[in-house]
Structure 1
Amino acid sequence: MQFRPWLWAFSILFAWCSLPTVGRAEVPVIPSETPEQRDARMQWWREARFGMFIHWGVYSVAGGTWKGQPVSGIGEWIMNSANIPVEDYASLAAQFNPVRYDPAEWVRIAKDAGMRYIVITSKHHDGFCLFDSKVTDWDVVDASPWGKDLLKPLADECRKQGLHFCTYYSIMDWHHPAQYRGSDQAYNPTRIHPERKREYMEYMKTQLRELLESCDPEVLWFDGEWPDWYTEADGREVYVYLRELKPSLIINNRVGKGRKGMEGLNRSDQEYVGDFGTPEQQIPATGLPGVDWESCMTMNNTWGYKSDDHNWKSAETLIRNVIDTASKGGNYLLNVGPTGEGTIPDASVERLAAIGRWMRVNGESIYGTQASPLPATPWGRCTAKRLPDGTLRLYLHVFQWPENGRLTVEGLSGRPKAAALLADGSAVAVQAEGERILLDLPGKAPDPVASVIRLDVNPNP
């Protein structure tokens, strides 16, 4: 991962239309699908709303230190941050032996937190693969004492426990000889030997096919697309290749170059590479109406394990982030960085358990919901569902419980049908007053972090 300003980082719309007209005919055609077919392909992902990101690799052995000295920056970037030569960095693979790796436990932790899918790094920027790739020895099977594929057992366990399995893949590769360091002091952003670019593109496509064949991910989550040598046309080539291999596959926007803003974009007459946007380390203030998106975020300051990073977000912050993201129509992808031995840090497990306790009571207010239809929610956040009979069901997530016991919901012209607390199902008195709905609440909030009221409103005439 790399922190980038959000208008660039989640650069939603992935278009190739800025390419010169000459040569477009040679660019592969994106498989056609109707809006209904796209909705069916995206359905599980849209309903899931909450997933686990896992950044794991040989950098986890270093844990943020090199030759006994702490290295600044995020843990998985240590090869770049410490400017470690390729041959020296290889020593970490020789120490990568995750004897405490328990895929069933990892999936249990995610499931108990209320997460519906897992996205794990199959290959990060250092090029090291957590699966058995036949086109390189720089993988866990050939270069580490572990000697076995790490992804397939996790994929199998996800399916056994009912979670969706997905993989991350970096386009930038600090190890592959086709790419070379951007400067004497850093790998990022890499450059490429022009005569070897096609070689690398085929290498990448082969590895992606290997992933599909070995562990069958439902999402391919790309990153590392920012070096100048990688183009919109390259992203389109990869996207088309993968969708032809697996038509149901969902692919994020970083498979292409994306855009720095949303100006001038018109979905009716432009084609885009990628299925969802990826804001990083923040939640867009107003969401991204009409666009599928997912906000990825760390629990502390780093993605990969770093032993001295103790700047953990509170469970309250993380729970409210889940709510905030859903209230704006997005998914929340929350990261853990396991150690080199294969354990998820206790601080992460504790916070995930706290989220899980909240989700077990209030999960229906997150899963399968849509963005809030309310113009403002000064008391917290709102998510919504449309029931088969047309009823608008609102979930009012109250962060600040009113001292006078009266909650006012502004901007609704429909008539309220009923309201109840999710915590215990008890009814809440509700009445309409013009375009306001007034609810009389108990004196004490059921949950100090976020109490949820389910409010059903008759459809407008």
Structure 2
Amino acid sequence: MKLIPLLLITLWFCPVSMARDLPDDTRMEWWREARFGMFIHWGLYSIPAGTWQEKTTHGEWIRQTAQIPIEVYDQFINEFNPLKFDADEWVRMAKAAGMKYIVLTSKHHDGFCLFNSNYTDFDIMNTPFKRDILKELADACRDQGIKLCWYHSIMDWHHPDYLPRRSWEDRLANGAELDRYITYMKNQLKELVTNYGDIGVLWFDGEWEDTWNHEHGQDLYDYVRSLQPSIIINNRVDVGRSGMQGLTKRGSYAGDFGTPEQEIPPTGIKGVDWETCMTMNDHWGYNKNDNNWKSSADLIRKLADIASKGGNFLLNVGPTEEGLFPQPSIDRLHAIGKWMRINGDAIYGTSASPFKELSWGRCTQKSVKGDTRLYLHVFSWPADGQLVVPGIYNKPSYAFLLAAPTKKLAVYRKEDSLIINLPEAAPDLINSVVVLDVAGRPDVNDPPIIFADHDIFIDTLNVSITSERDNIDIRFTLDESTPTMTSQSVTGSINLTETTVVSARAFRNNKPVSGSIQYKFTQAEPLLGVEARERHQGLRYEYFEGSWDQLPDFDEITPVKEGVISDFNFSPRNQSEYFGFQYSGFISLPETAVYTFFTDSDDGSQLFIGEKLVVDNDGLHGMTEEIGVIALSAGFHPIRVTFFEKTGGDQLKVNYQGPKINKQAISPQVLFHIK
């Protein structure tokens, strides 16, 4: 019996493609089939190779992290001459590794362009090399049947019209116009999309600074799609990405797939396209001192893990200033390719595992003429030679090893498991793939799905209990007991009027075919409002300066300044790093109901209603959204939001949602203070 927080199910995120319509399956088909691609970060930053003065830990961000003045950094253009660059060899290595597409940095945050652009002199044609790298790579990809894709940074530290400036720079922003920069970016994107043939993906990045917004993102998405309707665009074109987790927050944001960075989601999410991008060591751009390489075994298992959750794997290489792949990268590509030549069928075109967890490894699957082929990725070879596939009710038809496809393996049933007899030795010590063909769609012992809008309610709550499995009978109880065949059968949704633990279980032929699952729904007394006489529009703010890794107790610190502000913005700040705010006042709510509050921040934030902490989004992180729910009566409620920024990007968004209120920013019209 497992009690799971309801909010993990009900309030995560919406598929990125909801920004336009339902996903375009035809447009996404090749990408879902590919599953494995190569990321290439290359530019002027490969010349210093991670070293500036005494520090050796820089990467592609070196101009920012080493605070190199633009006039100094720009001199690297006179040194960039990668005479050993061979596009055909790059593509051969990617293809041999089993990769189906390549994403190259056409322009990173430093603003340098690896292509021949009519709109800037800060490009490859003004280096000693004077060869269009993108054209050569496009030709090589086309010749070898690899899909070509471009990375392009929205953020541009070089262009005079891009805003904001770096906080440590003395470059004035006088006369800069972001709209003029956007026109420049669109002109370059037109070059990228129309000058090099069919482009598979436009992979945006650098969208997190507060000058970029949803309107800009949706407009750019629509513009690129107008140039090439078949192109796929990641979610970093808009502002809906949730930090390094990369998946898209609830709301109407543009983009076709999520982009987890340097991490793999804990589970797959049905109907959501996503791609984990990851380095082989600790840097995207070449760093000659970075020897912290992931092992080949680790990367092969990460590929299987990602595919088992329905995602793609975009694995990075950072070439040297000469245009060569580092030897450790080549070694790992070779090892992955060796595994993929035997086991690629277990990756390409597969979908997520039907199993929640497998103790010995992972599973991918394909639908084959109405039946199912399961690819069992065995990381831990069973010592007794018996592979237990737990909780599956399908009839098995055939089993074999991908490494020995002509040798049939014996399969038999033991209660609700299938047992496959394996040879004594694993064919691959990293990941041996066993193929198991079964009749019909996967029928595993997943419990029913219990769903409601919230796990708290005031008067009544409608709860649905459903399952996607065929030919089952769902039984439920409301007294914390485990359902049996004599328990009440689900005929639709149920209506709760008091705090209740709902338990559900699936049965077939009078026998349980799942475990029991429970959710607790709590009837809450709405927090009463307060009087707010002599109220005035706006919030009180206190502005602080300091260096923190988490939110301090602002009540114990003397503010640098204080006053009244319209909403949760940073306009009173004196600097763009090492600062904090405490906002306080009252929020007016139109009716008694359960309300959801959201903070989306870089770095940490918290939201309180009265003395209750509703949203905890503390700590050092990129843009990350956290949520909380609370039952509130109609009227005025004290609201307090705290925020701090250490270094890097800085942003705070405070949203709410309730009856007749779609998720939206808390408007200044409902925020008040008392003098």
Both proteins in one fold, TM over 0.5 = yes
- Answering whether residue 224 of structure 2 is matched by residue 238 of structure 1, we say no
User: Aligned to 2:137, which of 154, 167, 172?
Assistant: 154
1:149-298 matched pairs, under 5 angstroms: 149-179=132-162, 182-185=165-168, 196-216=177-197, 217-260=199-242, 265=250, 271-298=252-279
- Separation (CA, whole Å) in 2 of partners of 1:64 and 1:271: 39
Q: After the TM superposition, which of the residue ranges 255-264 and 318-327 deviates more from structure 2?
A: 255-264
Deviation at 1:148, TM superposition (A): 1.7
Q: Of residues 26, 49, 52 in structure 1, which corresponds to 2:38?
A: 52
Q: Measure how far apart 1:394 and its partner are.
A: 0.2
- Aligned pair count reads 426
Change (3 A) 1:93 1:197: same
| Secondary structure of 2:408 counterpart | coil
Counterpart selection for 1:324 from 275, 282, 305: 305
| Matching residue of 2:330 | 349
Counterpart Cα distance in 2 of 1:399 and 1:86: 49
Q: Does 1:338 align with 2:313?
A: no
- Asked if 1 retains the 8 angstrom alpha-carbon contact of 2:14 and 2:249, the reply is no
Structure 1 equivalent of residue 113 of structure 2: 129
| Alpha-carbon distance in 1 for matches of 2:123, 2:276 | 29
1:72 aligns with 2:53: no
Whose relative contact order is higher, 1 or 2, with alpha carbons under 8 Å and at least 6 apart?
A: 1
Q: Contact (CA 8 Å) 1:255, 1:274: kept in 2 or not?
A: yes
In structure 1, what is the Cα distance between the partners aligned to 2:174 and 2:302?
43
Per-residue deviation, 1:218 = 1.4
Change (3 A) 1:366 1:15: closer
Contact 2:386–2:422 under 8 Å retained in 1:
yes
Q: Which residue identity is paired with 2:346?
A: S
1:457 to 433, 438, 451: 438
2: CA distance, partners of 1:61 / 1:172: 21
Asked if the contact 1:60/1:340 (under 8 Å) is kept, the reply is yes
Residues 159-183 of structure 1, C-alpha deviation per residue, up to 9 Å, x if partnerless? Answer: 1111000000000000000135645
> In the aligned structure 2, how far is the partner of 1:263 from the partner of 1:303?
23
Aligned-partner Cα distance in 1 for 2:76–2:15: 37
Which amino acid letter does the alignment assign opposite residue 429 of structure 1? A
Give the one of 92, 95, 101 matched to 1:108: 92
Structure 2 residue runs without a partner (length 5+) = 1-11, 442-470, 472-675
Please state which structure has a larger fraction of its residues in helix.
Answer: 1
Change (3 A) 1:129 1:12: farther
* Preserved CA contact (<8 Å) 1:419 1:430: yes
State the identity as a percent: 52
Matches of 2:422 and 2:173, distance apart in 1? 63
- How many angstroms apart in 2 are the aligned matches of 1:104 and 1:313? 26
Q: Compared with structure 1, are the counterparts of its residues 324 and 13 closer, same or farther at alpha carbon in structure 2 (3 Å cutoff)?
A: same
> Partners in 2 of 1:101 and 1:433 — Cα distance?
58
In 2 relative to 1, CA 193–334 (structure 1 residues): closer, same or farther, beyond 3 Å?
A: farther
Verify the 8 A CA contact 2:261 2:278 in the aligned structure 1.
Answer: yes
Contact 1:14 1:257 in 2 (8 A): no
Contact 1:414/1:457 (<8 A) preserved: yes
1:132 offset after TM fit, Å?
Answer: 0.7
Q: Confirm or deny that 1:419 pairs with 2:424.
A: no
Structure number with the higher strand fraction is 2
- Give the Cα separation in 2 of the matches to 1:213 and 1:335: 25
Quote the residue 2:371 is aligned against. Answer: 391
C-alpha RMSD of the superposition: 2.3
Would the alpha carbon gap of residues 263 and 344 (structure 1) be closer, same or farther in structure 2, given more than 3 Å must change?
Answer: closer
The one-letter code of the counterpart of 2:261 is E
Q: Is the 8 A contact 2:155 2:206 kept in 1?
A: yes
- Matched residue of 1:70: which SS? coil
Partner residue of 1:404 out of 384, 397, 400:
384
Alpha-carbon displacement from aligned partner over 1:297-326 (angstroms, at most 9, x marks no partner): 000000000110010000000000110000
Distance 1:109 1:259 in 2: 31
1:172 is aligned with what amino acid?
Answer: M
State the AA in 1 paired with 2:39: F
Unaligned stretches of 5+ in structure 1? 1-9, 18-29
3-state SS in 1 of match to 2:64: helix
Aligned match of 1:97: 81
Q: CA deviation at 1:153?
A: 0.7
Tell me the amino acid that sits aligned with residue 230 of structure 2: S
Larger gyration radius, structure 1 or structure 2: 2
Partners of 1:309 and 1:293 in 2: CA distance: 28
Deviation at 1:72, TM superposition (A): 2.9
2-structure distance, mates of 1:375, 1:260: 24
- Counterpart of 1:376 in structure 2 is 357
Deviation at 1:435, TM superposition (A): 2.4
Call closer, same or farther: CA 1:263–1:180 in 2, change over 3 Å: closer
SS at match of 1:370: coil
Query: 1:441 and 1:186, CA in 2 relative to 1: closer, same or farther beyond 3 A?
Result: farther
1:184 and 1:251, CA in 2 relative to 1: closer, same or farther beyond 3 A? closer
Cα distance, 1:411–1:186 mapped onto 2, change above 3 Å: farther
Measure how far apart 1:71 and its partner are: 4.0
Provide the TM-score with structure 1 as the length reference.
0.88
1:450 deviates by 0.4
Contact preservation (8 Å) 1:123, 1:170 = yes
Alpha carbons of structure 1 residues 16 and 308: separation in structure 2 relative to 1, 3 Å? same
Any conservation in 2 of the 1:181–1:191 contact (CA below 8 Å)? no
Give the AA of the match of 2:414: E
